[in-house]
Amino acid sequence: MICPLCDKVKDSIHHLFFQCEYSAQIWKMVKSKVIFRGLPNRLDAIVGKLAQYPFTNTIWNFINRSILAASVYYVWHERNSRLFKKGKRTVSDLCDAIQNHVRMKLVLLKVKKSKAVIKAGQMWSLQWIDDKYSFV
């Protein structure tokens, strides 16, 4: 079975996350929003790298893990959509969906105001109003 995202290579989990041309473009775009630089481009290596960092309740850990989870979910969803519904979204559309998903999670998050939270809010086009995030 050929990968439904790139139509070039045998479909496999290793290819799908993020060796496929399509998903590699998505990962390249969305990983620009993570604070840890140098994240690899293979799912097992990404998980291994994130697992090296302490699991704390910082805003950056939340964002990094949310970006990875949303990226995996939306790439898998797009794969299935192409296989079963014959629908196709562009890389840009999928990146927007991933980023909007993470932004919504951030808006719903209860956080204490800090320099890191303010910086994260600016990076995600959110601002701090009345002890919570709001869309800019």
User: What's the pLDDT score for residue 54?
Assistant: 79
7 in a domain, yes or no? Answer: no
Report the candidate in 134, 128, 123, 131 with the shortest Cα–Cα distance to residue 62: 123
Cβ(79)–Cβ(5) below 8 Å = yes
44 in a domain, yes or no? Answer: yes
135: pLDDT confidence band, cut at 50, 70 and 90?
Answer: low
17: pLDDT confidence band, cut at 50, 70 and 90?
Answer: very high
Number of domains in the chain: 1
4 in a domain, yes or no? Answer: no
8 in a domain, yes or no? Answer: no
Cis peptide before 18 (omega within 30 of 0): yes
**Helix, coil or strand: residue 126:** strand
43 in a domain, yes or no? Answer: yes
CA distance 94 to 70: 10
Burial 65-84 (b: 16+ CB within 10 A, else e): ebbbebbbebbeebbeebee
Least confident of 19-28, 47-56, 93-102, 126-135: 126-135
Per-residue pLDDT at 127 exceeds 80: no
| Mean pLDDT computed over 55-64 | 86
Per-residue pLDDT at 47 exceeds 70: yes
Per-residue pLDDT at 132 exceeds 70: no
| Mean pLDDT computed over 42-52 | 88
87: pLDDT confidence band, cut at 50, 70 and 90?
Answer: confident
Per-residue pLDDT at 134 exceeds 90: no
CB atoms inside a 10 Å sphere around CB 41: 14
Domain hosting 90: range is 13-135
76 in a domain, yes or no? Answer: yes
Find all residues with CB under 8 Å of 116, minimum gap 6, and list them.
58, 59, 60
CA distance 75 to 53: 25
39 in a domain, yes or no? Answer: yes
6 in a domain, yes or no? Answer: no
User: What's the pLDDT score for residue 121?
Assistant: 87
